[in-house]
Amino acid sequence: MGFAQVGAESGWRTANTKSIQESAEAEGVDLKFTDAQGKQENQIQAIRSYIQQKVDVIAFSPVVETGFDAVLQEAKAANIPVILTDRAVDVEDTSLYVTFLGSDFVLEGEKAGEWLVENAKDADVDGDGTINVVQLEGTTGAAPAIDRAEGFASKIGADDTIKVTASQTGDFTRDGGKQVMESFLQSDDSIDVVFSHNDDMGLGAIEAIEAAGLEPGKDIQIITIDAVKDGMQALADGKINFIVECNPLLGPQLMDLAAKVLDGEEVPERVVTEETTFTQEQAKEALPDRQY
């Protein structure tokens, strides 16, 4: 199996890589692994090299949704099946991949939005009747950034006191989240809520909020997605208010799907990961057994 990973941008990604490498080893799969360092061109190059090496199956987590048509056509022409892992591509011809294993990112955004609608009153710390939300977006053009924003917007639309006043990418990294939050705080002193597309950017935002002399989780509420250990710890500590889980442990299912595809068995076009959500109390309970 040739696997073209996005990079090492977040705690989620690190756990995802470990899961894929460990499951390959456990299943006796000869894994060729590359890290694209967040660059689509590196990923395309890695896929091309897997085609040249005539691997049996290619799996990858696309950095962004568009621009993969040509290389996927090359894989198809070489009769190498492709499994999308974690993130989707936007291609016209869906026969260019056999299946897509990963989360429902729209649903994750919806869960975040629903929680805010239900808890909006508590978020309005300054009591001015409006909830001003700033959004830390994931990598521009990536499926989880597009879908989480869409799901969130569709739910907060139910409450016209909730408004997204600023939205910018922090590229799914802690440093990116910190920098964007610093600039948001400089230009706006009425921020009530941060909606961050992942834990890492939320953790960066916590640093920026504390540096500005404010208390994260109280003066400004924070909602994130992923539920990696560092995020869950911040949630248990009261610095994050709500986390929507996104499970990175896709390795076992990926190896299973690959084996089936190579055995000529039918596999579903879409395999959705099951996930939950965590409040501060639930995070305290879940933390001791958290695997990632």
Considering only residues 159 through 198, tell me which ones interact with ligand GYE, judged by CB under 6 A. Answer: 172, 198
Q: What is the CA radius of gyration of the chain?
A: 20
Span of 5-13, 23-31, 52-60, 182-190 interacting with ligand GYE by CB under 6 A: 5-13
226 binds ligand GYE (CB under 6 A): yes
Shortest Cβ distance from residue 141 to ligand GYE (Å)? 12
Please say which residue, 132 or 178, places its beta carbon nearer to ligand GYE: 178
In the complex, the smallest distance separating the C-beta of residue 30 from ligand GYE, rounded to whole angstroms, is: 25
Binding mask 43-82 vs ligand GYE (x if CB under 6 A, - otherwise)? ----------------------------------------
Helices (H), the chain: 11-26, 40-52, 69-77, 105-123, 143-156, 174-187, 199-211, 229-236, 251-262, 280-286
Q: How far is the CB of 209 from ligand GYE (least distance, A)?
A: 20
Cα 149 to Cα 71, 102, 169, 172, 281: the distances in Å are 28, 17, 11, 13, 26
Q: How does strand 277-278 pair with strand 242-245?
A: antiparallel
How many angstroms separate the CA atoms of 209 and 231, rounded?
Answer: 16
For ligand GYE, the closer CB: 198 or 241: 198
Cα end-to-end span (Å), the chain = 24
Nearest approach, Cβ of residue 225 and ligand GYE (Å)? 6
Q: Which of 4, 15, 36, 86 binds ligand GYE (CB under 6 A)?
A: 86
In the complex, what is the shortest distance from the CB of residue 80 to ligand GYE, in angstroms, rounded to a whole number? 23
In the complex with ligand GYE, which residue's Cβ is closer, 2 or 231? 231
Closest CA to 136 of 179, 177, 186: 177
